[in-house]
């Protein structure tokens, strides 16, 4: 993939440091695709668990301002940033994801590899400048609390055929099949007093109880002072 630096123009000005989606000591790029659906039998007219979201794409980057490698940053404060994009069955489909789903059919088994050219990371992002962010943990074993999450408030769209093609991926080798790569989501983790922030300014926040971006500043005399 191209454009491996998570820069402010994406828009990710919430990040305090420079984060890079890059290969680590093992030469592996850090992208993750998390299947949020059990199978199509659980799908009722395209609505799964009262939600249309079927898939989550994670772009995983490490802090290059402080750490020299992904491995070093993995368990360190502010070490990792993950940009999360949800996918929903619908139109128009995201062409970058379509390309990835097509190439995925070349690597159905563990240990296989293929190279995908000319897909900028930004092409996987939805058409929105709005997001929510919080300090959280990895969704993979270890679950280290070192991640700054940035989650876009709109999904991209994919087809059922694209989703099905990814659900054919296997965890085992061809001669020794194992389970398919599906339902790979972790249990709900403790909140641990996390604060969720957003750049979304809801209409009418000045007269409602909905959180917004409006900042109120006022001054008040301290009654204990002799003025």
- Is there a contact between 114 and 107 (Cβ–Cβ < 8 Å)? yes
Structure tokens at 214: 């409006």
Q: Long-range contacts of range 169-174, CB-CB < 8 Å, 24 or more positions apart?
A: 169/104, 169/107, 169/108, 170/108, 170/109, 170/110, 171/110, 172/109, 172/110, 173/109, 173/110, 173/111, 174/108, 174/109
Tell me the C-alpha distance between 180 and 172, whole Å: 8
The radius of gyration of the chain's CA atoms, rounded to the nearest angstrom, is 21
Please say if 67 is a catalytic residue: yes
Of 67, 134, 144, 157, which is the active-site residue? 67
Please report the beta strands in the chain, taking only residues with DSSP state E, as ranges in sequence order.
5-6, 19-20, 31-35, 53-63, 80-89, 131-136, 147-152, 156-158, 197-198
If residue 122 lies in a helix (H) or strand (E), which one and from where to where?
none
Tell me the C-alpha distance between 37 and 54, whole Å: 5
Structure tokens at 23: 């290969």
Would you name the residues annotated as active-site residues?
Answer: 67
């Amino acid at each position: 993939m191209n454009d491996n630096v998570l820069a402010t123009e994406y828009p990710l000005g919430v990040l305090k440091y420079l984060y890079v989606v890059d290969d680590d000591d093992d030469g592996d790029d850090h992208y993750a695709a998390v299947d949020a659906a059990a199978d199509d039998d659980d799908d009722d007219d395209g609505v799964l668990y009262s939600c249309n979201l079927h898939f989550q794409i994670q772009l995983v980057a490490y802090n290059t301002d402080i750490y020299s490698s992904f491995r070093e940053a993995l368990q360190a404060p502010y070490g990792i940033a993950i940009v999360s994009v949800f996918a929903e069955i619908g139109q128009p489909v995201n062409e970058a994801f379509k390309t990835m789903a097509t190439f995925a059919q070349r690597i159905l088994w563990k240990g296989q590899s293929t190279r995908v050219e000319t897909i900028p990371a930004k092409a996987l992002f939805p058409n929105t400048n709005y997001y929510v962010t919080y300090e959280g943990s990895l969704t993979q074993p270890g679950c280290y609390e070192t991640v700054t999450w940035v989650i876009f408030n709109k999904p991209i769209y994919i087809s059922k055929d694209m989703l099905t093609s990814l659900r054919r991926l296997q965890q085992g080798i061809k001669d020794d099949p194992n389970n398919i790569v599906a339902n790979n989501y972790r249990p709900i983790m403790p909140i641990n007093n996390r604060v969720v922030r957003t750049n979304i300014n809801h209409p009418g926040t000045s007269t409602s109880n909905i959180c917004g971006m409006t900042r109120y500043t006022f001054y008040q005399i301290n009654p204990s002072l002799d003025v």
